[in-house]
Amino acid sequence: MVDIRLARIEDAPAIARIHVAVWQSAYRQLMQEELIDQVTVEAREEMWTDILTAYADTHPVIVAEDFGVGICGFGNAGPLRGEALLGYSGEFKTLYLLPTYQRRGIGSQMLSRLATHLVERGHTSAAAWVVATNPACGFFEAMGGAILAQREADEEGDELTDIAYGWTDLPALIRRGA
Ligand SMILES: CC(C)(COP(=O)(O)OP(=O)(O)OC[C@H]1O[C@@H](n2cnc3c(N)ncnc32)[C@H](O)[C@@H]1OP(=O)(O)O)[C@@H](O)C(=O)NCCC(=O)NCCS
């Protein structure tokens, strides 16, 4: 049975391992090899430890935990960063599940839970930037995300074209994953 809960500081090593494993499996076909291999578990553990300590109030992190097995996915949200998408205040920043846990409805429940945490922090809308060639675009579309903008490769030093999806009715998104 998979449970979704707020992450604790001691989850940082597991989150880092999953971050790198899913990054390597999902993004290897989307971007250059050297960019994939630059991402290390050590650097990710430092980053997640920082988010779980210094930014815990504004940047909720959740994990999906398979009882008796361990953490199988994570996600986080917070205030929208970067260029403003007019009218959107929150952002779904990451949502990663190990491949064997994908397509079982867990990601839908996790996005819904992150929406709950954004609403609790005063957000009424949220966006997510996704690599345009990532099959996960199908997930964000299935979750009712409206296409808001496209950020072309090489703008802001990015190697890939990204699409922004947006939700203005977070309670509806919460109900969708319930
Ligand atoms: C994106 C991700 C979190 C989705 O989680 P998930 O648990 O697999 O998604 P769900 O099972 O809740 O899917 C809900 C619906 O979304 C759609 N969907 C999900 N994954 C899809 C895909 N790869 N392609 C097309 N549609 C997809 C489907 O309509 C699905 O319903 P169905 O399975 O009944 O057809 C997961 O696939 C993942 O971890 N991907 C790798 C990391 C990544 O790219 N994350 C996104 C950027 S941060």
Identify the three-state secondary structure at position 83: coil
**Which of 148, 134, 144, 136 minimizes the C-alpha distance to 177?**
144
pLDDT tens digit string along 97-123?
A: 999 999 999 999 999 999 999 999 999
Number of domains into which the chain is organized: 1
Picking from 175, 173, 97, 99, the residue whose alpha carbon sits closest to that of residue 140 is 173
| pLDDT tens, residue by residue, 68-80 | 999 999 999 999 9
pLDDT of residue 156: 58
- Can you give the residue range of the structural domain that contains 130? 2-176
* Residue 139 near ligand 1, beta carbon < 6 Å: yes
Ligand 1 contact, 134 CB (< 6 A) = yes
Measure the CA–CA gap between 5 and 126, rounded to whole angstroms.
Answer: 20
Residue nearest to atom 42 of ligand 1 (CA): 96
Altogether, the residues listed in the chain come to a count of 178
Question: Could you tell me if the CB of 75 is within 6 A of ligand 1?
Answer: no
Per-residue pLDDT at 155: 59
Q: Which amino acid belongs to residue 155?
A: E
Question: pTM for the complete prediction?
Answer: 0.95
Low-confidence ranges of the chain (pLDDT < 70): 155-158
CA distances from residue 170 to 23, 60, 127, 175 in whole angstroms, order as listed: 27, 16, 11, 9
Q: How far is the CA of 107 from the centre of ligand 1 (A)?
A: 6
Domain CATH number, residue 151: 3.40.630.30
- Measured between alpha carbons, how far is 43 from 166 in angstroms, rounded to an integer? 30
* Ligand 1 atom 32 nearest Cα: 103
| Pairing mode, strands 146-151 and 126-131 | unpaired
Residue nearest atom 16 in ligand 1 by C-alpha distance: 139
Indicate if ligand 1 lies below 6 Å from the C-beta of 106: yes
In angstroms, the CA 73 to CA 79 distance is 21
Measured in whole angstroms, the distance separating CA 10 from the mean position of its chain's CA atoms is 19
CA 63 to CA 8: how far, in whole Å?
Answer: 9
Distance 88 CA to ligand 1 centre (A): 23
